[in-house]
Amino acid sequence: MTVQERYEAARKMYADVGVDTDAAIAKLKEIPVSLHCWQGDDVTGFDHDGPLTGGIQTTGNYPGKAKTPEQLMQDMEEAMSLMPGKKKLNLHASYAIFEKGEFADRDKLEPKHFRKWVDFAKKHHVGIDFNPTFFSHDKVKDGLTLTSPDEETRKFWIEHGKACIRISQYFAEQTGVPCVMNIWTGDGFKDIPADRMGPRVRYKESIDAILSEPFDTNLVKPCVESKVFGIGVEAYTVGSAEFSLSYAAMNKDKCLPLMDNGHYHPLEYVSDKIPAMLCFYPEFALHITRGVRWDSDHVLILDDETKEMAKEIVRDNALDRVYMALDYFDASINRVSALATGFRSWQKALLIALCTPNAMLKALQDTNQMSKLMVMNEAVKMLPIGEIWDEYLRREGVVDDLHFYDEIEKYENEVLEKRN
Ligand code: RNT
Ligand code: ZN
């Protein structure tokens, strides 16, 4: 049977439970998902030689890592060719591209240092999201940036944040797509602090200072990302969940909260936080990742929580209120494969959500038919979503799951292996 014949049979099964799979496919390909450049080179960037700091870590040394902007763009292009759906590019400030002999420190970055990324985005008709890089730099003092007790240090990083606001506005103006600019620092302490409040007061004042830089709130969407702990900063994180939620709530006119689902205790679920947020925030942002035990940032796969998060956004009609970005990094496997696998996994989760008879299930809940709800939930899981997925890939002109790795292998042989 052809993909289309199998799809036709599956389409009818979904129609029987009130789901329009053609509409689901049409919708899915218009949902922008932000693709992070930093999986391509183990969060290294182009503006420093030092180690990765900030309480995040990549492990592994898989061959073929991108070492230049050209290589990173080439790898991202390859990965994008293996992804259905609409993309957005997610950059970190450390990925500034300098001309030969040119250098600008983070506090002096300008739009021109990202012109090549804008060209890349235009070539692929995508918008750009941005992140100031508050780590992997010698001006991180004693593990602190925006929250440092040292005024010079704080000033440097505030200037960096402001420079990034200007660059974000430039991205939005150039691409015609608003730029989500995410503030995340790894500031914190390995062991029990003597002062928990001081750093948080300084963090608040520093973000205030960054956001005092003028910008068009329709074009630039600053957010603050929270975290529970990092590697080497186990005892205390300045930008905790309460801190960033409260900051965003108090500065609704110009700041959104960002939740990374790897940044909570293992039994806390972002899928349950999403509807709570939707009651109060007109818009917010997500980092979609996979936590494993104590760490965030494994490559996204189609696991239960991934599906549940997508379901929550879709059934709450919030696709245009939630900015979705992927965030993970694994240096132990083929990085192009990692980029594409994570993106495809989120697309699958969204497709499942769009093909779920949400109205019917909700009606069962609202009429307290909880036994039937459980039975129907289990029944829906067995509907032939794979046929819908294959048809979606066919319509998008993207290789199917079983043959996707052949493309990776080919690229590894032809391009990545030659880099070493
Ligand atoms: C780290 C945060 C942060 C980073 C990126 C590189 O735990 O999730 O978002 O992953 O900024
Ligand atoms: Zn994150």
C-beta of 225 in contact with ligand 1 (< 6 A) = yes
The 10s digit of each residue's pLDDT in 195-239 is 999 999 999 999 999 999 999 999 999 999 999 999 999 999 999
Residue 93 in contact with residue 130, Cβ under 8 Å? yes
Integer Cα distance of 412 and 418 in angstroms: 9
Distance 260 CA to ligand 2 centre (A): 5
Helix axis angle, 115-123 to 151-175, nearest 10°: 30
Average pLDDT over residues 375-401: 98
42 ligand 1 Cβ < 6 A: no
pLDDT the model gives residue 296:
82
Q: How much is the pLDDT for 295?
A: 80
- pTM across the whole model: 0.98
* Chain mean pLDDT for the chain: 97
Tens of pLDDT along 51-76? Answer: 999 999 999 999 999 999 999 999 99
Q: Exposed/middle/buried for 274, CB within 10 Å: 0-12, 13-18, 19+?
A: buried
Measured in Å, residue 180 CA sits from the centre of ligand 2 at: 13
Q: What is the pLDDT of residues 11-57, one digit of tens each?
A: 999 999 999 999 999 999 999 999 999 999 999 999 998 999 999 99
Given the CA of residue 329, which atom of ligand 1 is nearest to it?
10
Beta strands 236-237 and 188-189 are antiparallel
Residue 197: per-residue pLDDT: 98
**Cα distance between residue 35 and residue 175, in whole Å:** 16
Closest CA to 114 of 155, 51, 168: 168
CA distance 57 to 42: 9
Residue 420 has pLDDT above 80, yes or no: no
User: How far is the C-alpha of 27 from the C-alpha of 350, rounded, in Å?
Assistant: 10
Q: How many Å lie between the centroid of ligand 2 and the Cα of residue 11?
A: 36
Distance CA 62, CA 132 (A): 27
d(CA 381, CA 86): 26
Q: Tens of pLDDT along 154-196?
A: 999 999 999 999 999 999 999 999 999 999 999 999 999 999 9
In short, whether 329's Cβ falls inside 6 Å of ligand 1 is no
- In this structure, which residues have their CB less than 5 angstroms from ion ligand 2? 260, 287, 327
Q: Are 393 and 400 in contact (CB under 8 A)?
A: yes
Active site residue ranges:
184, 225, 227, 260, 263, 287, 295, 297, 327
Beta bridge pairs of residue 179: 220
The DSSP 8-state label assigned to residue 300 in this structure reads P
For ligand 1, atom 3, the nearest C-alpha belongs to 184
